[in-house]
Amino acid sequence: MLVTNAKELLQKAMAGKYAIPSCNFIDLDSARVFCKTAADLKLPLILAFAEVHKNMISLEEAALIGKYLAGQYDAPIILHLDHGTEVEYCLRAMELGFTSVMIDASMKDFDGNVATTKEVVDAARKLGVQVEAEIGHVGSNVLEGDGSLYTEPEEAARFVAASGCDSLAVSIGTSHGVYKTGTPKLSFDALHGIAAALPETPLVLHGGSGTGDENLSRCAKEGIAKINVCTDFYVAAMEAVKGLDDFFDVKADSNAAIRKVQEHYYRVFGTK
Ligand code: 13P
């Protein structure tokens, strides 16, 4: 069922020292796999649609798919907008029924990030929607020189107090996409510092793919409540369909591969 209490679910995960996976869907098939797997395993799910995928399906289509499927499956499902870059886009998502939105103004300076996030938070409060924001910056695709800026604990605490966001994406060494040079080295010292500075605020790890099970399991146990995964699902799907020449087999085998990755990450994150 579609639920609105993202912060409560994430705080429960914090207290229980596990993380909830945020799975990026790009079409009806992937969304259905994520919801069905969550229901079969009786586990919570953050069903995420990223603004960057709006060329594949529109926000309106994503909202309809998410709401419909969440209503069909017996698991707590949060319909989340991932990496909304504009206030307007976040507002549209809320109006369409997303129960959680991320406003990513992490490329702005501190005051600009606070102001943009606060605008979304103010609108979200009226609609009972939860807001994730980002401080520091998780870059893309490479281990070093990817534009990432580590999150500073003191700055993170000031940011949450000033913006009123419900959860916070932090940068501790992951990147979005496929790593070119192996498993990343995460800064658990940075994570512990941020978690100590923000004992009530659920923390979010972006760029879960390729980060390594040991790193992710430690993150879940040591302060991260939500872990975002996208690339690993679609890499596994591509791998599974190599050599197939029947479109129906391609659909079935890619869906099965996506499910296997989701089941794997539920185990790694210790999700309850
Ligand atoms: P990956 O594609 O690296 O798993 O990142 C997903 C993500 O962080 C979505 O916000």
Phi/psi of residue 10, each to 5°? -70, -35
Tell whether ligand 1 has an atom less than 6 A from the beta carbon of residue 24.
Answer: yes
Which CATH code of 3.30.360.10, 3.30.420.40, 3.20.20.70, 3.10.20.30 fits the domain covering 6-269?
A: 3.20.20.70
Query: Which of 24, 132, 264 for mutating ligand 1's site (highest number of atoms within 8 Å of CB)?
Result: 24
CA 6 – CA 73 distance, rounded (Å): 17
Ligand 1 atom with least separation from CA of 178: 3
| Active-site residue identified among 82, 146, 166, 232 | 82
Please state the rounded mean pLDDT for residues 177-198: 92
- What does the pLDDT read at residue 141? 62
- What does the pLDDT read at residue 70? 98
| pLDDT tens figures, 200-247 | 999 999 999 999 999 999 999 999 999 999 999 999 999 999 999 999
| pTM of the model as a whole | 0.96
Please state the rounded mean pLDDT for residues 172-182: 87
Query: The tokens 């793919």 sit on which residue?
Result: 209
Is residue 146 scored above 70 in pLDDT?
Answer: no
Query: Which of 174, 206, 264 for mutating ligand 1's site (highest number of atoms within 8 Å of CB)?
Result: 206
| pLDDT tens figures, 38-47 | 999 999 999 9
Is residue 142 scored above 70 in pLDDT?
Answer: no
Q: Whose CA is nearest to atom 5 of ligand 1?
A: 207
Residues in the chain: 272
> Catalytic annotation on 109?
no
Alpha-carbon distance values, 139 to 7, 75, 203, 266 (Å): 25, 32, 17, 25
| pLDDT tens figures, 64-94 | 999 999 999 999 999 999 999 999 999 999 9
